[in-house]
Structure 1
Amino acid sequence: MATTNEVEDGLKMIEELTTNAEQIQEQVLGQILKRNAGTEYLGRYLNSKTDKKLFKTNVPVVTYEDIKPYINRIANGETSNILLVEPVIEFYRSSGTSGGQPKWIPATADVSNLRTLFLTLLASVMNKNFGNLHQAGKRLEFMFTKQDTETPSGLKAVSATTSLYKDQGFRNNVSKFYTSPLEAIFCSDTNQSMYCQLLVGLVQRDEVVSVSSIFASVVLRAIKLLEDHWREFCSNISSGQISDWITDSGCRNALSLIMKPDPQLADSIRNVCSSKSWEGIIKKLWPKTKFIAAISTGVMSQYVETLKFYGGGLPLVSGVYASSEAYCGINLEPLTEPSNVSYTFLPNMAYFEFLPINKESLTMYQVDTEPVDLVHVELGQYYELLVTSYAGLYRYKVGDVLKVTGFHNSTPQFQFVERQNVILSVHTDKTTEEDLLKAVKEAKILLEPLGYISRGHTSYADTSSIPGHYVIFWELKEKEGNDGQVLDPKIMTECCYRMEESLGYIYGSNRKQNAIASLEIRVVKQGSFDALMDYYVSRGTSMTQYKTPSCINSQEAFNILDSNVIAKFFSPKTPM
């Protein structure tokens, strides 16, 4: 439990770090080079020297594919100093949702210590804004793990979140701070795990002070589960017995210690859930909840509207910007609207560099200049993030595009813009993740007066015919809960046109020349995006780290959505 002094110490440290960012960045790079300059990888470029200028001049900017052979050698058991001197204790397995196979990122004891410090500083910021949550109650946080895979050398490959949940400090405190039993978190069946975590959260509804998961999509997945099975939850609570289909012995044993017959509680939950509209359901079911904590920026911004609908005015908190490669930044103003969230980088977490990006109306492209240091980025400019870490990554392209929105002391604050890739292209057009989000947002404006909210969207470049065209898969729900929706063709085709209008000059020019055919919206039935999540989880993605792909590249994933299409609509005219 964080004391007042610990909170004050954490806030003081943030001030010191952000005030002395340049000096601390120099120290971080110096420590990394002093330790690892003699390794096989860096030795090729530095000859065991630790000079920053030599590092900037000689060490190349790389992607995962460039260093994958070195990582594979470590995974296969080579003990020489290949990438780093400190022993690799495990690999973080990135989600791999959008681009295919997961990446293996080395993790060391230093990384574990940085994680602890990062989370401590985050807790200080949250306590400053919401009071001592540990004293106020417990968090209903949906947490999931994936089974470890083992490399030939015997090292474990785990998701970064699974590594956190396995940490002894977390395990010792989980029952104090969270409603979810450890056994449910580690249940290998994600459906049973989520059901049990939600059930305990309902049983302990008067203790819950926040509802959360890493990403917004998982919170909505839990609400969808509740929406489909609230009568079963009420039956469990009334009888004190868990449903027979929950077969995981750990879950059953843990819940047997918590559950007892409570018809009165079941009736109160039943009264809430039987309402015609589920607007504000989170606040109604968990009345002490102060906020919903889930990353709602970037691709997750598509869920903001729906989360607000279910949240009933609760703040949506996007607390951190982090990846499997590095812990980067904290949102120092957690009450900020998701669309305006900026993350203040912590200069002690890694050595950060930034490749300048030019942002035009068509797309983004890198400027032919050298990367700049953290404190030398410019306000309003776009950059791609490079990380040099304590765990063997040097000038590594994370693949994220960030925009400088301000400074806290001498440290820049960044807004996450998108992943650095073109997700849709069928001719000379280049549509990014940000472009797609903007287009869908424009179309949503037409549906809001009709009472529709979005459960998810993704895209697909259909080149099976000539000319090719964009396909937008979209799951919609009426606010009043009627799943048998009848969509107005006139409005839906106007949605198609509105999306096309927002896609810019090059796209419009290609449409006029018939190089791209009409944009198509394929509306899918309820639960389709849950099925998509299940597919990626079955392929090794941790549900906790799952992000809905902006574009579908997998044939199996495409088939899941396409088999659930209930209506198709096309843009009726060429955009202006």
Structure 2
Amino acid sequence: MILLAAFLIPTLLILVLIWSDICRKSPDQKRTYLSRLHQYLSQRYLILLSLWQRRTLEFSTKNVRQEQQRILLRRIRRDRNTEYGNLYRFSEITNRELYCRIHPLTEYGHYKDYIWQIGKGEENVLISERPRVLSVTSGTSGSTTILPSVKITTTTFQQGFGACFNAKFIAYPHTRNLQRTAKFFYPPVWKKSESGIPIGPNDISPTASQLGSSSYSTPAAGYEITTETEAQYIHLLFALKDGTLGFLEASFASILYHAFAFLQHHWEPLVEDIRLGRVNPQLSLADDVRLKLNAQLKPDPQRASQLAVEFVSGFRGIARRVWPQLNLVLAVDTGANKLYGSHLKHFFCEGVPTYSPIYAATEGLIGVNLWPERKEQHYLLCPQSLFYEFIPINLHEEEQPRTLFMDEVKENEVFELVVTNASGLCRYRIGDIVKVVAFHNQSPVIEFKYRKSQMLNVRGEKITEEDFYQTLQRAVKLWPGAVLLDYCCIESSLFGPFCGGSDPHYEVFVEIGGVRNLSEDQRYKLDQCLQEDSMVYQSFRRKGSIGPVRVHIVAMGSFKELTDFIIANVGTSYNQFQMPRVMKNKEFLDFIQRKVIS
């Protein structure tokens, strides 16, 4: 009896302490005990796991030369007996210097035939194992490519997210509260290769692990919806229903921006559904999915009335007004997403901290942001994920320039990034331009600058995506009352003989709020700003070898329609799509041209 009491009393005490901690950290007392307990235990597990993953990352950054060579040689040895490994003498490679002498720098065309063979079912061609999936890239250039992806790629992504999870808890301790996350994720439509290998985006679904199921405001059935409009509606419906929501999350800022833009124009039916406790009957959903979702809803007239009052008051700062306890917005807002991130920070999510956690591509995890509290989005390169090389920016136009290793780069220098990944891509030029801004232990901390493919260049002036965006923002400030909502630019050569001018020039399509039209003088401000910001451009303009920029205004919502059109045509997913700021596809040009109103 004494032994039983000695066991039961501490056990009961522990249970009481756990329950007390759960109640203290859970602002939504309407949630079931089991739901809160599941999230509490899952969170405790993830805290411990993320601490271990953070320490593993930290350890790998303390001797990057050794770690990088270990990763490289392990992958080279794994594939040394493949057709590709025999061709490039992998069995002879004993160090990174020899690897760079034997193997050339590559681009996608180098691998196209090998990937086609893999899709047909041929084995031991490029890599020694069968790919988990043939991953479709984002289609930023106007078309997608397909790259093999092995299991280790998913593992490194999870380790990266774990390190970011740890960084988030350190920077924002209140994120340990048991609040739900509205995660905007759209299940892709999968295809299969000739040999049955799945073809689709390298997305990690929220339903892939049961650990986080109690953490999301959207029920599991909501992640079964493959149509974007219906899925977006359901994500918003269940997010709005939860007044204690703690986080908004999406892979890119564009996804959250489009969700808020949709909410701004369609909030009435969402409020009505919350009032009545049902899913809108006009929404096109499978019967079983609708049944599961309706089971999660109860009439809530009080919440509906609160929401209606806030929506009628306007949408500046709406996120914090409808979710007073919102802690964080998690989404990548660099590169093509910088404009969307700005709209979130300064309008819809005003006053809510934002965190861009990872820098990644279909090729693999590149870097993690360990400093969520900082305004700048800087990423620590992960030595265990990829083997990195760096082409100095002054050499990046050469076909086979010399490269530097992680331990050879210097602070404040700009490079083109080259990677060797776990899925058979060797010395692969991914097309990203980055700047080394600092070092963490021995590993470079980088800032993403721009994509090589996203550059305006009709006469050799080479205006980068980043520079053009800054100039465009400056020009918009000279258009009284105008707010830049979206944009893309096109080199006049894409128009063929119908470009509307004899000299090569830029055609810029803008979606703007606040004004209905612009005078010719106002439109010309953009060309003047470009001349002020680029001496090379100014020189060509004065010589008359480049014509003035032509600015076109498109109808509201045109770029969302363009997004849908591109995704439908190139086969990528909403979770990974990034709007090409320099459009190089004639079909997409024709689409946006049809939307011009002025």
Please report the TM-score for the alignment, with normalisation by the length of structure 1. Answer: 0.90
TM-fit CA distance, 1:192:
0.5
Partner of 1:433: 465
Distance 1:200 1:310, change over 3 A: same
CA distance in 2, matches of 1:173, 1:388: 32
Mapping 1:108-123, distance limit 5 Å: 108-123=150-165
Q: Could you list the per-position Cα deviations for residues 7-65 of structure 1 after superposition, in whole angstroms to 9, with x for gaps in the alignment?
A: 43333223212222222111101211121122211222226223123211111110011
Structure 1 regions of 5+ residues with no counterpart?
Answer: 479-484, 568-576
Q: Could you list the per-position Cα deviations for residues 470-524 of structure 1 after superposition, in whole angstroms to 9, with x for gaps in the alignment?
A: 111111123xxxxxx3345277335423442245122212211222221122121
Q: How many residues align?
A: 545
Contact 2:160 2:358 in 1 (8 A): no
Contact 1:326 1:387 in 2 (8 A): no
CA distance in 1, matches of 2:206, 2:242: 24
Aligned AA for 2:584? N
Tell whether 2:206 aligns with 1:157.
no
TM-fit CA distance, 1:167:
6.7
Name whichever of 399-408 and 433-442 sits farther off: 433-442
Q: Secondary structure at the match of 1:358?
A: helix
TM-fit CA distance, 1:132:
6.5
Partner of 1:572: none
Tell whether 2:65 aligns with 1:65.
no
Aligned AA for 2:191? T
The one of 331, 337, 340 aligned to 1:294: 331
Contact 2:142 2:580 in 1 (8 A): no
Distance 1:398 1:291, change over 3 A: same
Partner of 2:72: 29
TM-fit CA distance, 1:119:
1.9
Contact 1:426 1:469 in 2 (8 A): yes
Contact 1:246 1:252 in 2 (8 A): no
Mapping 1:115-264, distance limit 5 Å: 115-131=157-173, 133=175, 135-161=177-203, 164-165=204-205, 168-169=208-209, 172-206=210-244, 208-249=245-286, 250-264=288-302
Contact 2:471 2:526 in 1 (8 A): no
Q: Secondary structure at the match of 1:376?
A: coil
TM-fit CA distance, 1:368:
7.1
CA distance in 2, matches of 1:343, 1:392: 24
The one of 5, 24, 39 aligned to 2:82: 39
Please report the TM-score for the alignment, with normalisation by the length of structure 2. Answer: 0.87
Partner of 1:482: none
Mapping 1:498-517, distance limit 5 Å: 498-517=528-547
Contact 2:437 2:444 in 1 (8 A): yes
CA distance in 2, matches of 1:8, 1:150: 37
Mapping 1:73-472, distance limit 5 Å: 73-79=117-123, 81-96=124-139, 98-131=140-173, 133=175, 135-161=177-203, 164-165=204-205, 168-169=208-209, 172-206=210-244, 208-249=245-286, 250-275=288-313, 277-308=314-345, 309-337=347-375, 340-358=376-394, 365=397, 369-421=401-453, 423-447=455-479, 450-463=480-493, 464=499, 465-472=501-508
CA distance in 2, matches of 1:272, 1:502: 43
Structure 2 regions of 5+ residues with no counterpart?
Answer: 1-41, 494-498
CA distance in 1, matches of 2:464, 2:327: 35
TM-fit CA distance, 1:563:
2.0
Q: Could you list the per-position Cα deviations for residues 264-319 of structure 1 after superposition, in whole angstroms to 9, with x for gaps in the alignment?
A: 111100000001x4211111111111121111111211223311221122122111
Tell whether 2:589 aligns with 1:558.
yes
Higher strand proportion, which one? 1
Contact 1:525 1:566 in 2 (8 A): yes
Q: Secondary structure at the match of 1:19?
A: coil
Contact 1:456 1:529 in 2 (8 A): yes
Distance 1:380 1:368, change over 3 A: farther
Contact 1:91 1:155 in 2 (8 A): yes
Contact 1:236 1:243 in 2 (8 A): yes
CA distance in 1, matches of 2:335, 2:219: 31
CA distance in 1, matches of 2:102, 2:390: 17
Contact 1:351 1:389 in 2 (8 A): yes
CA distance in 1, matches of 2:459, 2:426: 35
CA distance in 1, matches of 2:516, 2:145: 43
Contact 1:456 1:475 in 2 (8 A): yes
Contact 2:331 2:357 in 1 (8 A): yes
CA distance in 2, matches of 1:488, 1:433: 24
Contact 1:439 1:498 in 2 (8 A): no
Contact 1:140 1:210 in 2 (8 A): yes
Name whichever of 210-219 and 112-121 sits farther off: 112-121
Tell whether 2:52 aligns with 1:9.
yes
CA distance in 1, matches of 2:293, 2:454: 46
CA distance in 1, matches of 2:80, 2:392: 27
Q: Could you list the per-position Cα deviations for residues 132-180 of structure 1 after superposition, in whole angstroms to 9, with x for gaps in the alignment?
A: 646431111211121111111110111011xx118742xx234312112
Tell whether 2:508 aligns with 1:477.
no
Name whichever of 383-392 and 490-499 sits farther off: 490-499
Aligned AA for 2:465? E
Partner of 2:30: none
Contact 1:2 1:132 in 2 (8 A): no
Partner of 2:23: none
Contact 2:51 2:163 in 1 (8 A): no
CA distance in 2, matches of 1:402, 1:200: 39
Distance 1:287 1:498, change over 3 A: farther
Distance 1:191 1:174, change over 3 A: farther
TM-fit CA distance, 1:365:
4.4
CA distance in 2, matches of 1:220, 1:104: 28
